[in-house]
């Protein structure tokens, strides 16, 4: 998948973090083993102990590494309009790079069981929701905090659906539907019944 031969001296740590995300995305947290990660990263499995100490620490660092790299979806969430082009872009992003999203779902479920991951999970979600809320404020919506949480949940749920049980086109239609709901809500605010 990545470069065929070994990494250069000093690149092992980065390769291990990237491999961790890939392994969790493809095989789940129960497929996350020293051997699996080290084989994908093309290094010896004891290098994980050297760099991170324990498996828990590896996951923790991989979470930090992945969330800084998950900016593209955050940018998407802050888009000015949830319209056809937004829906197409979101669906295409998920189809092209599902790993980061899959990793995040695994990680957020794990954060319920491991208190030391909670803080980063909360920060990740609140980051998305805050960006979305700012966009809603700009467009003149009211009750933006709860609205942003609801809209993000809808996008989050649809991404999960696309990754697991639903085809891309259905998801795209549903995303457009969310945009339509927001428009209707804006007009209702301006012309209350």
Single out the residue of 2, 3, 4, 9 in contact with DNA (rule: CB under 7 A): 9
34 closest CA partner among 101, 23, 3, 25: 23
Nearest in space to 40 (alpha carbons), one of 60, 24, 22, 62? 22
Please, which residue, 100 or 156, has the CB nearer to its own copies?
A: 156
Pick the closer one to its own copies by CB: 47 or 163. 163
Q: Which does 13 bind (CB under 5 to 8 A by kind): its own copies, DNA, none?
A: DNA
Instruction: Please check whether residue 108 is in contact with residue 120, taking contact to mean a CB–CB distance below 8 angstroms.
Output: no
Cβ 181 to its own copies shortest distance, Å: 5
Choose among its own copies, DNA, none what residue 94 binds, the Cβ cut-off being 5 to 8 Å by kind.
none
In this complex, which beta carbon is closest to its own copies, that of residue 2 or of residue 29? 29
CB atoms within 10 A of CB 168: 14
The least CB distance from residue 8 to its own copies, in Å, is: 32
Give the position of tokens 């909360």: 122
Residue placing its CB nearer to its own copies in the complex, 93 or 176: 176
Identify whether the C-beta of residue 179 lies closer than 8 Å to the C-beta of residue 87: yes
Contact 111, 121 (CB under 8 A): yes
**CA dist., res. 76 & res. 80, Å (int):** 9
Binding residues for its own copies (CB under 8 A): 26-30, 32, 102, 105-106, 108-113, 118, 121-122, 124-126, 143, 145-147, 149-158, 160-161, 163-166, 170-171, 173-178, 180-185, 187-189, 191, 193
- Binding track, positions 27-66, relative to DNA; x by CB under 7 A: -----xxxxx------xxxxx-xxx-xxxx----------
Our finding on whether 13 is near DNA (CB under 7 A) is: yes
DSSP sequence for 62-109 = HHHHHHHT-HHHHHHHT-S--SHHHHHHHHHHHHH-HHHHHHHHHHHH
Q: How far is CA 32 from CA 23, 69, 129, in A?
A: 6, 20, 29
Q: Toward DNA, which CB reaches closer, 82 or 117?
A: 117
> Which residues of this protein are in contact with DNA, per CB under 7 A?
6-13, 32-36, 43-47, 49-51, 53-56
């Amino acid at each position: 998948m990545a470069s065929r031969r070994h990494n250069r001296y000093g690149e092992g740590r980065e390769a291990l973090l990237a491999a961790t995300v890939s392994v969790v995305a493809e095989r789940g947290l129960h497929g996350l083993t020293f051997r699996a990660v080290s084989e994908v990263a093309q290094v010896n499995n004891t290098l994980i102990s050297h760099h991170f100490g324990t498996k828990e620490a590896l996951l923790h660092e991989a979470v930090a590494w992945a969330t800084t790299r998950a900016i593209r979806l955050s940018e998407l969430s802050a888009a000015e309009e949830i319209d056809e082009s937004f829906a197409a872009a979101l669906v295409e992003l998920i189809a092209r790079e599902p790993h980061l999203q899959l990793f995040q779902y695994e990680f957020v479920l794990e954060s319920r069981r491991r208190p030391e991951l909670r803080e980063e999970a909360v920060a990740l979600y609140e980051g998305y929701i805050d960006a979305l809320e700012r966009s809603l404020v700009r467009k003149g919506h009211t009750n933006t905090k709860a609205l942003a949480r609801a809209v993000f949940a809808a996008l989050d749920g649809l991404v999960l659906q696309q990754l697991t049980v639903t085809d891309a086109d259905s998801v795209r239609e549903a995303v457009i539907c969310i945009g339509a709901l927001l428009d209707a809500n804006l007009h209702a605010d301006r012309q209350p019944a």
